[in-house]
Amino acid sequence: MSDAALRAVYGIKYNPFLPSLPPEALWALPDAERFALRVEKLVAQGGFALITGDPGQGKSKTLQWLSHRLALVPDLVVGVMERPQSKLADFYRELGDLFGVALTPLNRYGGFKTLRARWKAHFDSTLRRPVLLIDEAQEVSSLCLTELRILQSACFDSESLLFTVLCGDSRLPEHFRLPELMPLGTRIRARLQLAPLPPEELKAYLDFTLTQAGHPQLLTPELAQTLAAHAAGNLRVLTHMAAELLAAGLERNLPRLDEDLYFELFSPPPKIRRSQARAENR
């Protein structure tokens, strides 16, 4: 399904139900705005923040939305870790790449000192700590999380050289109950816990994303309500159903997506009576 075909049939700029959305099309989940304001204030002080939620609740998109927002802050350096499951040596190497420091696995102490010096110099020149964003943070080993805590702490823990946002599923808060990670857990200064969304919020999401794509009337009001009611409060389920409807509508050149298409695609076939089924099998 190409963007050209979507423009030709529906006049929309892109598929609004795929993960690859432009930054301006990212929707702020409930409480995300308050969380972002808190983070923007804390980047001058350093520390940790936490985003958690079950799969499909919008954690990664919220982190992407936050990354785009922080990138607009003048003089703020934002690094996004892409391989959270790395061993300690590669963890250090990626930190070095993100913040412009050449590190070697054989000289971890030198890397430790160089990273801290780079973060301290940035803070001294801008009064803002650099920011590190880690998605799928439940995959980060306890050893790497402990190293990160020590790495960004200075002056007997009276100063933090970095601000880190950890984003992960419901396993992540449980990690902080481990003895070796409790010191990090007590340092989390802002939290955003995502929960299943009520139908009215899911409907608001559909309205927003379709407006951003350029066709707010693509779905009939009845279909939007039906999708919101049957998505189990889960944004991923919602967008997957909507994407399937859009693909079917484009294939059939339908001018608008409606409930009839929904029931055709997602309603179970009618049950055949046992007697009729036995007769057909003879």
- Mean pLDDT within 204-225: 95
- Cα separation, 129 vs 77, whole angstroms: 8
- Residue 206 domain flag: yes
Q: Are 51 and 61 in contact (CB under 8 A)?
A: no
Please report whether residue 188 resides in a domain. Answer: yes
Q: Is 20 a domain residue?
A: no
* pLDDT-derived band at 118, boundaries 50, 70, 90: confident
Q: What is the CATH number of the domain that holds 77?
A: 3.40.50.300
Residues 110 and 48 placed together within one structural domain of the fold:
yes
Looking at the structure, tell me whether residues 220 and 260 fall in a common domain.
yes
Residue 65 has a CB neighbour count (10 Å cut-off) of 21
- Separation CA 282–CA 77 (nearest Å): 73
Task: Kindly give, in sequence order, each residue whose CB lies less than 8 Å from that of residue 210, ignoring residues fewer than 6 positions away.
Answer: 12, 16, 216, 217, 218, 219
> Angle at the Cα of 145 (from 144 to 151), degrees rounded to 5?
85
Among candidate residues 158, 193, 228, the one where a domain is terminated: 193
Domain range for 218: 3-14+197-266
Q: Check residue 4 and give its pLDDT.
A: 80
Compute the Cα dihedral for 197, 132, 85, 98 and give only its sign: positive
Confidence of residue 280 (pLDDT cuts 50, 70, 90): low
Residue pLDDT, tens place only, 172-212: 999 999 999 999 999 999 999 999 999 999 999 999 999 99
Secondary structure of 19-34 as H, E, C letters: CCCCHHHCCCCCCHHH
Angle formed at CA 19 by CA 15 and CA 21, multiple of 5 degrees = 60
**CA-based angle 214:215:221, to the nearest 5?**
145
Averaged over 93-116, what is the pLDDT? 82
Per-residue model confidence (pLDDT) at position 282: 55
Between the alpha carbon of residue 196 and those of residues 25, 49, 56, 229, 238, the distances in Å are: 21, 21, 9, 12, 12
Domain assignment present for residue 258? The answer is: yes
Residues 37 and 157 in one domain: yes
Is the pLDDT assigned to residue 92 strictly greater than 70? yes
* Whether residue 271 has pLDDT greater than 80: no
> In the structure encoding, which two tokens stand for residue 16, read together?
């609004």
Is the pTM higher than 0.85? Answer: yes
Indicate the Cα dihedral angle 153, 154, 159, 164, nearest 10°.
Answer: -30
118 and 203 together in one domain:
no
Task: Note whether 9 and 136 are same-domain residues.
Answer: no
User: Could you tell me if residue 47 is inside a domain?
Assistant: yes
- What is the tens place of the pLDDT at every residue in 45-62? 999 999 999 999 999 999
Residue 280 lies in a domain: no
Last residue of a domain, one of 193, 219, 251: 193
In a domain, 276, yes or no: no
Residues 141 and 153 grouped into a single domain? yes
**In this predicted structure, what is the pLDDT of residue 188?**
96
Give how many domains the chain has, as a whole number.
Answer: 2
Split at pLDDT 50, 70, 90, the class of 228 is very high
Q: Which residues pair with 131 in a beta bridge?
A: 78, 163
Domain identity same for 106 and 232: no
Q: Is the pLDDT of residue 235 over 70?
A: yes
Cβ(184)–Cβ(146) below 8 Å: yes
Length, in residues, of the chain: 282
Contacts of 87 (CB under 8 A, 6+ apart): 141, 144
| Proportion of the chain above pLDDT 90, given as a percent | 69
Indicate if the pLDDT at residue 2 is higher than 80. no
**128-169 residue pLDDT tens:** 889 999 999 999 999 999 999 999 998 888 889 999 999 999
Look at residue 120 in the predicted model and tell me its pLDDT: 87
Same domain? For 167 and 218 the reply is no
Residue 281 lies in a domain: no
Contact assessment for residue 133 and residue 80, using Cβ atoms and an 8 Å cutoff: yes
C-beta of residue 165 within 8 angstroms of C-beta of residue 136? no
* 177 shares a domain with 82: yes
Instruction: Return the minimum-mean-pLDDT range out of 42-46, 60-64, 163-167, 237-241.
Output: 42-46
The per-residue pLDDT of the chain, averaged, comes to 90
pLDDT at 279: 55
My answer on whether 68 and 164 are in the same domain is: yes
- Say if residue 104 is in the same domain as residue 128: yes
Name the domain boundary from 151, 172, 193: 193
The model's confidence at residue 24, banded by pLDDT at 50, 70 and 90, is: confident
Same domain, 87 and 143: yes
